[in-house]
Structure 1
Amino acid sequence: MKAETITGDQLKEKFEHKDNVVVLDVRPQQQRDEWQIAGSIHKDAYERLQQGDSTVFDDMNLPKDVTIVTVCAAGRSSQLAADILAEKGYQAYSLEGGMQGWNFIWNTAEISDGEVTIIQVRRVAKGCLSYLIGSAGSAMVIDASLDPQIYVELAGSHNWAIRFVADTHIHADYISRTIELASVTGAVHLFTANAGVDYQFQPLADGQQLDVGSSSIRAIHTPGHTPESISYLINNKYLLAGDTLFADGVGRPDLKADAELTRAKAGQLFASLQKIKGLESDPFILPAHTSQAVAFDEKPVGDHLSLLLSQIPFLQMAEQQFVQSIIERIPLPPANYLQIAAINKKGEHTDVDAARLEAGANRCAVS
C-alpha cells in the first residue's frame, strides 16, 4: 500500500493545533544530529529501507490510533518507511521534501510589555531567529530569513508599518531576505557603517538611537563573530544580540579567518561581551540563532543577561582564558558558508537553490 504524503505546512498546522501526531525520523544518526524536528523520535532505518526490509519497524511500539509522519533528508526513504507502515495498518504519511522541505517552516513567540511588542520569528529546523519589533503603529525587522511577505503579513495583523530593516551581521548559514524586504516595504535599510557589502544602506554609528513608534532602539557595535556585527538594545530592556551572545554560548570568531585573525577576533568578541555585560537593567537577551530544533511552544528563545552570566562559563573568564577556550572549542564550519556569505555580501541570490544551499544545522555558536 502506498502511503500519502503530507506537506510541511500541513504538519506545521497539526503542531499548531496540538494534534496527536508522531514524527518518525528514519535518517542515519549523523544526519539527525545535524538538524531535526523538535519532539520527533528516531530509528536509523536507512540501510534496511534501501534493502526492502519490511520488518524494520517491528521492534517499535508505534501507536495505530494517531498520525505517524515519517521524515528523511529529501522525502524518498521516508516514503518507503510510510509505505511499510501503511501496509501494516498505521495512519502513516511521508513528509514531502524531507528536512529540506521543512527548512522554511516557521513559528512565532511574542514578548509584549505595553510599550513594545517583539515577535520572534523562528525557522524551526535551522534555529534561525528573526525579529519583528512593533510600537505605536511602526515596526522594524531584524535578521529577516524568510519570504518578505511573511513579515509584511505579521506586521499587518498588528496594524504596524515596517519602517526599518536591518541585519545583525553578514550571515553565513542562510540567505538574508533583508534587501528584498526593504524593496517590498520601502523601509530604510540600516547596517553597520563598516559592513563592507556591495549594496546601499544607511549606516548606523555605535550608540546611535532609532525611534520606532514610541520605542527607542540603540545600535551597539559588537564585533568579534564578524567585524560588522551589531546588536540592538530596545528600551534598555531587550538586546537583540545577533551571533555575539546566544542562550547557551557565544559566537564563533573563526569564519573566513586564519589562526592569527581568529585569535584577534576572539579578543574583539571578548571586548564586545564585556560591553554587553556592562549594560544596565539586566536586559533580556534575544539571539539570532539557537542550536536546538525549535518547538511549537510559543516560548521565546533567550533569557535575562544575569541568568546567562551564571550559566555560560565563557562569560566568567578573563580574556586570555576566554580566547584560548574559544579556539579550542570551535566546531566544524557551517555547510556552504563561504558561498552563503558571498551571496549576502553581494545582496543578490537569483537562481540560487536556497533549500539545498541552506540545508543542515547552523554552527555559529561555541558552547
Structure 2
Amino acid sequence: MKRRKRSFLRDEKGAALVGVLMVLLVLTLWVGSAFLSSLTEISIASNHEAGLEAAYAAEAGLQDLLSLYRSRPEWFLEGKPQADLGFPLFDPATATCRGASYCLEHLSYEPASPPAFALAVMVGEGKGGKGLSRIKGMIQGQALGGPFPVPEIFRMGLVTAGRLEICDPLSVQGDLHGGRGVSITPFSVGQQLLQNRFSVTQGMESLRPDFQRMPDIPRITESRFQDYLAAAASPHQRFSGSQSLTLKGDQEGKIFYIDGDLLLKAEDLSRVVIVVKGNLTVAGNTLFDSEKTLDTAFISGGGVVVHPQGELNGVFWTNGSFLAAGPGKIRGAVVAQGDLRLGTGIGFERETRIAQAFLSPLAPAVTFHLAGWSQQ
C-alpha cells in the first residue's frame, strides 16, 4: 500500500489566523489614518483659531491707537514717534510682540508737519505666541478749530513789533522782522545776513530793498492766560506771586503757571511750557532732539531776559521786550511785542519743527476716524 503525500498547499491549518492578522492590519491602518487626519484637522483648526485671535488683536490695537489720539490729539498734531506713545513695539529680532497681544510695527505721519493722517502697521499675536497677523490702517485727523497748523509767524525766526537789534552776534540763521526798524552791528555782519529775509517799516532800506510784508504780531490775551492756568493740572504747577525756580530734565509736557515774575534756572530742561504773567528771566540750557519737534516754550506777559549756558532751545513768546545776553546760543523762535535785542556773542538758529501744544494748552478740537485698513 502506497503512502499518500500530504500537500502543504491544501493544508488550511492557520488560514484563519492570517485572515485575522490582515483584518487587524487594515483596521490599524484605518485607525491610524483617521487619527492622523484628526490631528491634522485639530492643528488646522488651532492655527485658524490662532490666526483669528491674532487678527482680532491687531484690529483691537488699531482701535486703541485711534482712542489714544482722540484722548491726546496733540500727540497726533506733533507727530509723536511710535517709541514715545507707550505702545508695545514689535521686536524684529524675535519677530514677536514679546508677550503682548498686539504691538506697533510701523508708524508714520503724512505729511510730516502738520499731519493729516497717520499710517500704522499693527501686529496681533495669538495665545501662546501662535499666529501673527498684520493690519495696516490709516487714521485721519480733521481739525475743527484751534491751532492746526502752527501759525507761520512762529516758524520765522526773530519777530518783533518793536525794534530789532543784533550786536556782534556769533551767528544768525533765520528771518528777521522788525516793526520799528532793524539795527545790525558791525556792518560786516549785516552783509552776511543778506541771505535771510527781512521785513521792516524803517531803518534797513539802504541794506535790503526787497522787504517782506510785516506780519501781524499776536498778543497773549487774558483769556489765553486763563487757558494756561486751567491746563496747569497740578497745584504744584501753579504759583502765586514772584518765584525763583530750578527745573531739571524731562518735564513730560507739564505746564507751569506763575502769576507774577519768575527767575528760572534750567538744567537740561525739555518738554515743558513755562507761563509767566510778569517778567521772565531764564538762565541755563534746554535739550532738543533734532529728530523730533521743538516742545519747550517760554510765554511771558512782561519782558524776557535770557542767559544761555550752552544752548537754550525753545519758543519765546512775550508781550514785552526780549533780551539775550551772551555768550551762548538760542534755537527756536522769538516773537515779541517790544524791542528784541541779541547781545554780543549770542548765536541764533531758527527751528521750524515746532510742537503746537503751547499755542493752545487745552485739547485742540480735532476729530479722528479710521479711514481704512487692510490685512497684510
Q: TM-score range by the shorter chain?
A: under 0.3
Looking at secondary structure, tell me which structure has more strand per residue.
2
More helix by share: 1
The TM-score normalised by the length of structure 1 is 0.25
TM-score (normalised: structure 2) = 0.25
Query: Of the two, which has the highest radius of gyration?
Result: 2
